[in-house]
Amino acid sequence: MSNPNIQIDDEIREMTDEEYAELLASGWTPEPTDE
Amino acid sequence: MATPPVFSSGSVLTAAQMNSVGMWLVSKTTIGSAVATVTTGTVFSSDYDNYRVIIRGVKTSAVNANLLLNFGATVTGYYGSQYYDAYTGATTGANRRNNGANLYIGAAENTLGEDVHSFDIANPFLASSTSINGTYYGASYSGWFGGTQASSTSFTTFTIRPDAGTITGGTITVYGYRSQ
């Protein structure tokens, strides 16, 4: 399964494993929520 | 002689007139497809102390996702809150950050892309606390948000992301307030 995309200015690419780990550590969840 | 803010074709503008212009476009970023985070290019500099940001037309993959804001690479020391009120009257409340990892900047749309988030940023480039205050509409919610990044870090960029899933489309426009 691929990592989510990251956009920096106008460039879009797949997150590195390190970036994805940081995103998950920040509390982000890949699944939709219904708050 | 031209008198700001009304100009006529062929008007010659003096430095004093140009220096009286209160707001300048700094950058406009178009958000791509299915991105989990969006980081601006360099938008904060010594040119301006304060900035206005308008984010509009964002679609989230998650239902009722909130947008979150970070300055630079800093992921601690955020203090603030967000109020939300559904136009149906069914839901109202607040989300808060007390030494959190980011700031809330309002709910975004899941399908319609009708959301708008407008806020001011004070002192992001200065070596002092960076504070925001603004309002939003998205996903049937209206509200306000505000907060601070309580460090003396000087920032040149900011990042937005949803608290869940990804975002597609919309724009991030940054203006600088002239204050000198």
Domain boundaries, chain B: 23-177
- Over the stretch B98-155, which tens digit does the pLDDT of each residue have? 999 999 999 999 888 899 999 999 999 999 999 999 999 999 999 999 999 999 999 9
For chain A, list residues whose CB is within 8 angstroms of any CB belonging to chain B.
4-10, 12, 15, 22-23, 26-35
Q: What is the pLDDT of residue A33?
A: 46
Structure tokens at B83: 């109020």
Amino acid B170 reads: G
pTM for the full model?
0.92
Is residue B17's pLDDT more than 90?
no
pLDDT at B47: 94
CATH pick for B23-177 out of 2.60.40, 2.60.120, 3.40.50, 1.10.3470: 2.60.120
* ipTM, two decimals: 0.89
**Contact call for A31 and B166, based on CB within 8 A:** no
Distance CA B37, CA B53 (A): 17
Per-residue pLDDT for A10 more than 60? Answer: yes
| Measured distance CA(B105)–CA(B83) in Å, rounded | 10
Q: With beta carbons under 8 A apart, name residues in chain B contacting A4.
A: 34-36, 166
**B35-81 pLDDT, tens per residue?**
999 999 999 999 999 999 999 999 999 998 999 999 999 999 999 99
Dihedral sign from CA coordinates of B121, B67, B116, B92 = negative
Structure confidence at residue B165 as a pLDDT band (50, 70, 90): very high
**Chain A nearest CA to B171, separation (Å):** 11
Please judge whether A9 and B102 are an interchain contact, meaning their C-beta atoms are less than 8 angstroms apart.
no
Using a CB-CB distance cutoff of 8 angstroms, which residues of chain A are in contact with residue B33? 5, 12
Residue of higher predicted confidence among B139 and B5: B139
Token digits for B136?
A: 């939003």
Q: For the residues of B61-106, what is the DSSP string, one character each?
A: SSTTPEEEEEETT--S-EEEEEEEEETTSS-EEEEEEEEESSEEEE
Residues of A with Cβ-Cβ distance to B64 under 8 angstroms: 33-35
Decide if B79 contacts B97 (C-beta within 8 A).
yes
For chain A, give the longest Cα–Cα distance: 31
Q: Tell me the nearest-neighbour CA distance from A1 into chain B, angstroms.
A: 15
Residue A32 has pLDDT above 60, yes or no: no
Q: Check residue B3 and give its pLDDT.
A: 66
Q: Which candidate in B26, B37, B83 is best for mutational testing of the A interface (most A CBs within 10 A)?
A: B37
Considering only CB atoms, A15 lies closest to which of B36, B75, B165, namely B36
